[in-house]
Structure 1
Amino acid sequence: MTTLYKIHYPLDNHFEQASPQVLAMGYFDGVHLGHQAVIKEAKKQADALGLPLAVLTYAPYPGLVFDKQPLPWHDLTPIDQKVALLGELGVDRVYCLNLTSTLASLSPVDFVEKVLLVLQAKVVVAGFDHLYGPKERQADMAHLPEYANGRFDVTVVEKQKIAGGSDKIASRAIRIDLANGHLEAVTNSLGRPHRTSGVVVHGDARGRTLGYPTINIWTPENESLPGIGVYVVRVQIAGRQVRGMASIGRNVTFEKNRPVTVEINLFDFDQQVYGEEVTVDWLHYLRGEVAFESVEDLIQQLECDRADSQQYFLEN
């Protein structure tokens, strides 16, 4: 089982949780295929040396410390989901280091001395574009062996490309694809569908009157939802995995300027599940949100959406 340690700089030189280990470092938002290549390389070295595999990651998102960012910030994988995914890759320990101005101002030499060595890294593994040190004079992985000065080994994992393309797999590009509903591209980069969590809450109960009852999902603010639209989804709920179609939108047919909500029509499911925690796998974009002129037009479109969703599952 993967153990999460939330830590803060300065680290105690007698840091109790540390022991000699292989350390992979990065923010790892999304734990996409590029990140997975880093973890797999670190795992290979940890197994060869008979050492635990640890990950050094950060919170909050580094961009929030270095620059002004649009708020609220949405991660592809909040820390709990990130730890779970890293655990599936064989990571024993995750150190989530609170990224503050003090930590971000450390020189590369001090970062090595006061973080990596305190964590007893014997091998440090990171992607080719990983940076450390203050914004004005950040150091890259090519210089880490110099700063390590023989006290630990360094392995750099080269750029991982999107299948069939030349672009590197990147969290920023995944966020853009997600916002635009390009879910196949998101899945190709992550190596799995994008997943969000939430809790079933009460809505307007309007779907029942239309013949398409929905569960309304409250999604934590720090999670990244796809853009407004209608989607094919798979939902883990009440111990079951259920297929369905989801709407992210404002219900503009009935009222303008409503808050964005997540409503899911589950196929072959008829239970009262208020308060249940759910996970949603976002599989395929069907269409954008439309303000229909009549309820009858909306119902006709929902029939088409359901048929298209069922066809998607038949073909996939």
Structure 2
Amino acid sequence: MKIIRLHYPLDNRQDELKDSAAAIGFFDGLHRGHQNVINKMIEIAEEKGLKKAVMTFDPHPSVVLSPKKQRTTYLTPLDIKLEMLDGMGVDYCFIINFSSAFAALESEYFVSEYLINNKVREVIAGFDFSYGRYGKGNIDTLKANDAFNTTAVAKLTSGSEKISTTKLRDDLAAHRLEEVNDALGRPFEVQGVVVQGEKRGRTIGFPTANVEPEYRYHLPAKGVYAVTLKIDNEEEIYKGVCNVGVKPTFHDNMTRVSIEVHLFDFNRSIYGENVTVYWHNFIRKEQKFSGIDELTEQIGKDKEKAAELLENH
């Protein structure tokens, strides 16, 4: 997949590009609604003999447009998103730097310089996509342009609610992990590296892998979860129980959240290994215990519950 980074003012014309169909959006999470947009792009591109393209933005537009609600953490950080798009067979990924200068551009300029001049012949976007200064451009204004065809993809719902990145983030915060995974069409995942921790787990019979996220992930809310873990360059998937939180039994004022995974029937040292943690089920909220004995008893119950939940994984 060819990655094309675009900064305003545009100074790197891509004359070697071929005509393409482009799916446009931020696509954080690449949930089932996003997949519908991209799959529609692939269908149109293959039908018309065009290159398959995705046009996305970095950072999230809220960093410029909504300082009180800006998103600086992601369900799928940019590098992960690019890996996934490459795996879907995308030929070109345009990454537009979403700056104050870019946000101030008139919608007609965006269409002329970012779409037409990059040889986009088919535009595919969600029904509510907007662009240009004050968001004045929308699907209808795109359809009015005869330099390319525009396809609007209808919203995808789960129950009565639209599947959206905002809903996914809210669900993670409320421990609704099963709803998150249903909307994604896969388990929520975080990539990271195993680093040295406080090593308390091994002293109470539950050694853990302390996973430091590699990117700025939007993490699940503090609590205990049934998870699986994959070590890079290994085929086996390991089952375990994970605590996301601040370890209140041992710390009164800790604010830094850690990810600690206890793997079943596993006794290797894996410090420095790159791993992926897959979240499957929520078990309970993080809590403070009166002491080691009470904590150890609860971890044993959590382990049994996780093993039960993961039996068919």
**TM-score, with structure 1 as normaliser:** 0.94
CA distance in 2, matches of 1:231, 1:249: 11
1:287 to 270, 284, 307: 284
Residue identity matched to 1:144? L
Q: Is the Cα contact below 8 Å between 1:177 and 1:183 reproduced in 2?
A: yes
How far residue 241 of structure 1 moved from its aligned partner, in angstroms, is 1.6
What CA distance in whole angstroms lies between the structure 2 residues aligned with 1:168 and 1:290?
33
The equivalent of 2:300 in structure 1 is 303
1:106-255 mapped onto 2 (5 Å cutoff): 106-135=105-134, 137-146=135-144, 148=145, 150-162=146-158, 165-220=159-214, 222-238=216-232, 239=234, 240-255=236-251
Query: 2:80 corresponds to which letter in structure 1?
Result: Q
Once residues 65 and 155 of structure 2 are traced to their aligned partners in structure 1, the CA distance between those partners, rounded to angstroms, is 24
Aligned pair 1:94/2:89, yes or no?
A: no
Counterpart of 1:51, as a letter, is: L
CA distance in 1, matches of 2:228, 2:209: 13
What runs of 5+ residues in structure 1 fail to find an aligned partner?
Answer: none
Q: Which amino acid aligns with 2:106?
A: S
Q: 1:123 to 1:72 in 2, by over 3 A?
A: closer
Q: Kindly provide the amino acid, as one letter, of the partner of residue 143 in structure 1.
A: T
Code of the aligned partner of 1:15: Q
How far residue 24 of structure 1 moved from its aligned partner, in angstroms, is 0.7
Per the alignment, residue 23 of structure 1 pairs with 22
Is 1:63 the counterpart of 2:56? The answer is no
SS state at 1:314 partner: coil
The amino acid across from 1:306 in the alignment is K
CA distance in 2, matches of 1:72, 1:170: 14
State the Cα distance separating 1:104 from its structure 2 match. 1.1
SS at match of 1:117: helix
Distance 1:22 1:10 in 2: 24
Cα distance between partner residues in 2 of 1:129 and 1:72: 19
- 1:134, CA displacement in angstroms? 1.1
Tell me the CA shift for residue 306 of structure 1. Answer: 0.6
Q: In the alignment, what sits opposite 1:77? A: 76
The offset of 1:315, in angstroms, is: 4.8
2:266 and 2:51 map into 1 onto residues whose CA distance is 44
Asked whether the 8 Å contact 2:6–2:94 carries over to 1, the reply is: yes
On the 8 A contact 1:10/1:114 being kept in 2, the answer is no
CA distance in 2, matches of 1:298, 1:4: 49
Q: Which amino acid letter does the alignment assign opposite residue 99 of structure 1? A: F
Sort the Cα spacing of 1:120 and 1:173 in 2 relative to 1 into closer, same or farther, 3 A.
Answer: same
Equivalent residue pairs, number: 310
Cα 1:16–1:279 shift into 2, 3 Å:
farther
Instruction: Note the C-alpha offset of 1:170.
Output: 0.5
Match of residue 37 from structure 1: 36
Find the counterpart in structure 2 of residue 266 from structure 1: 263
* Larger CA deviation: 251-260 vs 203-212: 251-260
Could you tell which deviates more after superposition, 13-22 or 174-183?
13-22
Alpha-carbon distance, 1:51 to partner: 1.3
Compute the RMSD of aligned alpha carbons. Answer: 1.6
Distance in structure 2 (CA, Å) of the matches to 1:72 and 1:23: 24
Give the residue type in structure 2 aligned to 1:292: F
In 1, the alpha carbon distance for the partners of 2:101 and 2:69 equals 22
Amino acid in structure 2 at the alignment position of 1:216: N
User: 1:160 is aligned with what amino acid?
Assistant: L
Unaligned runs of 5+ in 2: none
User: Percent of aligned pairs with the same residue?
Assistant: 36
User: What's the offset of the Cα at 1:56?
Assistant: 0.4
Give 1:13 shift: 7.2
Deviations 1:88-144 (A, max 9, x none): 322111111101111111111111111101110010000001110112x52211221
Give how far 1:73 is off.
1.6
Q: Is the 8 A contact 1:206 1:213 kept in 2?
A: yes
SS of 2:217 mapped into structure 1 = coil
Distance 1:106 1:9 in 2: 9
The offset of 1:8, in angstroms, is 1.1
CA distance in 2, matches of 1:282, 1:246: 9
Residues of 2 paired with 1:278 and 1:159: CA distance? 34
2: distance between equivalents of 1:269 and 1:93?
A: 42
